[in-house]
Chains A and B, each alone.
Chain A
């Protein structure tokens, strides 16, 4: 039997078994070698780990952004704002609107010493003239403004100018006495304000000012728009952030008023 006979195409020659034994065996052997090589190659390559950063086409992207700013933890890093510094230079500061004020009936406004804030988060003496309420007050100290982000913390504790000396004992500049409480207000507001609610076309740096009153138990009421930012989504998100808060923590026991008025701004 040879191939010539097999390929002759004559149907009357009868059926001869095909001479496939040799080629079939050879095929099986070759396939077996191929399989062994593929598996062996895979195993061998697995021993050498490659760093495939940025290789395309494998797997789906992993979303690793922070869920929201609302994790109730302060951050571990120090504010890396390029403007922040431990030694403020005596430069004239632009007037900033006050974020916080409280009513003290006993305060007598002294015309010569208009004691107002150097940083926006401090609380103020309300003056008898109601017209002054929403106007930026002249600065008391020549401190450069730094580290200002949306409700960001005042620098560690209370600014150094809080050491008024014994003559000012009995005044109620809230920030110098309870700077840690102001820090707490900032923290809670930044946790509950959702940035993703704001229209992304809002220019960065716009601020929405809200005002509310904190009661003895720490609950905020009377949450209202103080000055609009021009972006309705930013305004609404700032208001909702304050409405979301159950309590800021009870007012400090040493503070002897029943409420505290706060003016807060949300900066996009």
Chain B
């Protein structure tokens, strides 16, 4: 009994000590900055229907909504809402009264308007872009389109007109309205490569292999699609020709081991991928036809997910596990000058921005015991190593891919058991979902 009595105070002390440790939740801070200049205030007027054909109203509705959505998601404009616009629908420069659009409540700096007619099976669209503050010389753009009269061409014409406006007002960078996104979808039963327009329209299946196909990468000229496929021999890099509509050969992609995550250089000449044919997964580089295969990394630990610097094609960034958890590294194309980019956590799936300045990747900074879970998309300025978190507390975000205008990023978001493709501006705003059926993974934005 004495021993028990002696033990009791010690037990009570330890109990009290343990009870005093509170549990902490993981918090984050979300902040933003003012970049110093203002968005252009743009009013998109409904186009005026001309003629009395039955198709015209529906085609016009498609055209108007597509044009509005393209310009709203471009990231350049402060859109005037429909309720603030004057009720007139000008169809030509003679019909528009500039002062109506530049005065309150509209207060627009720019206005786009025009006329649309569907006659004899042809869709004819006239569009103008006017500067409302320049009464003497307001015209900036005047465009005319003549295409087949169907919903698809109405959308295409709207995309083209939006691209012209974005090119003119966005500093000479081409708009992305006609680009495509390639992704993996399991809605057909097996994981196949699918493609869709950048706004989520027109989703269609591309490959019909019946096995598993992952990480699609379209070539810079849009003619070939490289991806990793699982077949009897294991994982190999396969090539699909979009022009021919069938698989073509890529001898470097089948060589034993697991071959994953292909990446095109921006001139379309080379393909980098991760292969474990030498025993340990390393980065290998081959020419686009499959020859000239050589190994580039020699590190212990897995080396996966390469991405080229699209501005210079002289550097590759990839994720390496040579220090334990995967981190992002950059190196020269021949394997020298290895530089570490991330300082901890769990960093995967790097994607190099078209300007060459940023890397977007998926990062779990608090990986480890007590991890609240979830990866988030970050972008990092490679020269200064300053980074910015783009997604917050919304599932697990992975596989970012830059758009060719350097202003948009597409990524995969997994919430519970559902995975979908989302897109956002490159500062993390305007996040919206593109796919809604099945499970969708690993998006890749086309080059043009």
Contacts and interface: CB of A to CB of B under 8 A. Distances in A.
A188 B425 contact: no
Nearest to B19: A41
Interface string B373-409: 0000001110110111100000000000000011100
Contacts of B11: 30, 34
Interface stretch (A61-69, A96-104, A131-139, A199-207): A61-69
A252 interface: yes
B139 A254 contact: yes
A151 B37 contact: yes
Interface string A223-258: 000000000000000000000001111101010000
A71 B37 contact: no
B303 interface: no
Nearest to B380: A67
Contact of A34 (B15, B29, B35, B384): B15
A64 B387 CA distance: 7
A73 B171 contact: no
Interface in B1-54: 3-4, 7, 11, 14-15, 18-19, 22-41
A180 B40 CA distance: 8
Contacts of A74: 35, 37-40, 75-76
B131 interface: yes
B35 A55 contact: no
Contacts of B256: none
A153 B429 CA distance: 22
B209 interface: no
A259 interface: no
B207 interface: no
Given A66-B33, A74-B38, A75-B36, A55 B171 contact: no
A70 B137 contact: no
B315 interface: no
Q: Is the interface of B mostly helix, strand, loop or mixed?
A: loop
A109 interface: no
A75 B389 contact: no
Contacts of A27: 7
B425 A187 contact: no
A65 B30 CA distance: 10
A162 B133 contact: yes
B366 A163 contact: no
B258 interface: no
A63 B109 contact: no
Nearest to B388: A67
Q: Is the interface of A mostly helix, strand, loop or mixed?
A: loop
A158 B365 CA distance: 46
B357 interface: yes
Please tell me the size bucket of the interface on A: 35 or more
Contact of A184 (B34, B135, B169, B386): B169
22 contacts: A45-B23, A49-B25, A53-B27, A66-B386, A72-B173, A73-B407, A76-B32, A76-B39, A77-B34, A151-B37, A153-B36, A156-B109, A158-B131, A158-B134, A168-B136, A177-B134, A179-B133, A180-B131, A183-B37, A249-B168, A249-B173, A252-B140
B100 interface: no
Nearest to B359: A67
Given A45-B23, A52-B24, A55-B24, A153 B134 contact: no
A163 B110 contact: no
Interface string A40-62: 01100110011011010011001
A49 B25 CA distance: 7
Given A71-B35, A71-B426, A249 B388 contact: no
A186 interface: yes
A163 B136 CA distance: 8
Given A180-B109, A248-B172, 12 more contacts: A38-B18, A41-B18, A46-B23, A73-B407, A73-B425, A184-B169, A194-B383, A196-B384, A218-B172, A247-B171, A249-B170, A249-B173
